Amino acid sequence: MTKFIIFILVFIVATTSCSLQPDDSKSGKKDNKSTQVDDKTNKKNTDDEKEKVVINVEAVNIYRGNAVSVFNTTTILEADLESAVTSKASGIVLQINVEVGDKVTAGDVLAVLESDLPQLRLQSAQANYQKSLHNYERAKTLIKKGLANKESVDNLKFETLSLKTGLDQAKLDLQYTQIKAPISGVITKRSIKKGNLIQLNTEVYAIVDFNSLQAVINVPENKWGLFKNNLEVKFNFASLNQSVLGHILRIDPIVDSATGTFKVVIAIDDGEMQTKLRPGLFGKTQIILDKNQDTLLVNKNALIREDNNAFVYVVNADNSVTKTKIKLGYEMDDSIEILDGVTENQQVVTTGKNNVSEDSTVEVITYND
């Protein structure tokens, strides 16, 4: 009996303890609801913080200026007037009158060859001619008197003419012992020395007219319709600190089928720079093919290129940005022409454009010089 009573008491105590334990399932549901509310609150706070992020950028204004289409290439200067002076006679060089670097005028005597033999030939030709001329004049007088026949007079006439030709040739041979400049310019090469025995047609000097400097370029055939005479050209040479101006002088009328190019000859206009230029100088050439004045321009750093399209981020009044598609025109070194899509004085993002999107808020940073 006593054991039974003890069992009953233990059972009651155990049952009471179980009833006092908290309901985990109900408590869990309550906790889950609390967690969900907290998550939504945190997400909202995060979104608010994201909206408040301001991205620092640099921006420039769309402005007006001149846009040019240019063709860039390289070239080597050459002289349009140059001459390889050759000897027209044989003989020993007796005198050298000019050296490399000397300026000469057409007709100046550059060197002198020995002339003893040509002078003797001239004297002989002169004597023979005078004798024949005297006989011819005497025969003309005799024929008038009937003392000479016409055939003999005609023979004397042709003999005299032949000897006159020989006399003229002898005079030329003597003149050719003086080697003269065929053009005006600067001596760039001397190939003979005093005492040399030279033969006919030996090259003795080279003369270049620095005032006739020009550039020749070969242009791809797909540019044919863009090139015209008198187009402006700008040269840049490594040896000079300033540009040199020129213009297109002439364009070959045909395309070289072997190379697919046509030749363009460019004249140098800058007279003051002529004295500093020399044949053989290597330079960069920029040809102005077309020019649009007072057109919209933007710094190339603002461009965003995607596939075949171009965009800019326009900064709005509320510091938001709009990704705007634009139509491009001529491209220069630092700027590019805009044909459509934006207006003058609109601000567009340059530095930082890769960090922004259309839902971004930006602050344009300016730097004081």
pLDDT, mean over the chain: 86
Q: Residue 368 — pLDDT band, cuts 50, 70, 90?
A: low
In this structure, the answer to whether residues 236 and 223 fall within a common structural domain is yes
Helix spans in 98-222 (H): 116-144, 150-175
In this structure, the answer to whether residues 98 and 189 fall within a common structural domain is yes
- Burial status of residue 232 (CB atoms within 10 A of its CB: 0-12, 13-18, 19 or more): middle
In a domain, 35, yes or no: no
Give the residue with greater pLDDT, 286 vs 275: 286
Dist CA 136 CA 139 (whole Å)? 5
In a domain, 126, yes or no: yes
Dist CA 101 CA 133 (whole Å)? 49
Q: Residue 152 — pLDDT band, cuts 50, 70, 90?
A: confident
The confidence score (pLDDT) of residue 13 equals 45
In this structure, the answer to whether residues 355 and 345 fall within a common structural domain is yes
User: Rounded to two decimals, what is the model's pTM?
Assistant: 0.64
In a domain, 23, yes or no: no
Give the residue with greater pLDDT, 15 vs 147: 147
Q: What is the pLDDT of residues 161-184, one digit of tens each?
A: 999 999 999 999 999 999 999 999
- Take residue 198 and report the two structure tokens written for it: 């030279």
The mean pLDDT value for 185-210 works out to: 95
**CATH number of the domain to which 203 belongs:** 2.40.50.100
Q: What is the pLDDT of residues 10-68, one digit of tens each?
A: 455 444 444 444 444 444 444 444 444 455 445 445 555 555 689 999 999 999 999 98
Classify strands 178-180 and 109-113 as parallel, antiparallel or unpaired.
antiparallel
In a domain, 5, yes or no: no
The yes-or-no verdict on residue 298 having pLDDT over 90 is yes
- C-alpha separations of 314 from 8, 195, 320 in Å: 86, 82, 8
**CATH number of the domain to which 138 belongs:** 1.10.287.470
Dist CA 321 CA 114 (whole Å)? 89
- Take residue 165 and report the two structure tokens written for it: 């030709």
Q: With beta carbons less than 8 A apart as the criterion, state whether 97 and 205 touch.
A: no
Q: With beta carbons less than 8 A apart as the criterion, state whether 330 and 297 touch.
A: no
Q: What is the pLDDT of residues 215-238, one digit of tens each?
A: 999 999 999 989 999 999 999 998
Question: Which region among 60-64, 209-213, 262-266 has the lowest average model confidence (pLDDT)?
Answer: 209-213
In a domain, 227, yes or no: yes
Give the residue with greater pLDDT, 10 vs 187: 187
In this structure, the answer to whether residues 247 and 270 fall within a common structural domain is yes
- C-alpha separations of 19 from 24, 31, 282, 360 in Å: 13, 21, 103, 58
Domain that holds residue 351: 54-66+293-364
Number of domains in the chain: 4
> Residue 301's beta-bridge partner residues?
none
The yes-or-no verdict on residue 261 having pLDDT over 80 is yes
Dist CA 351 CA 367 (whole Å)? 13
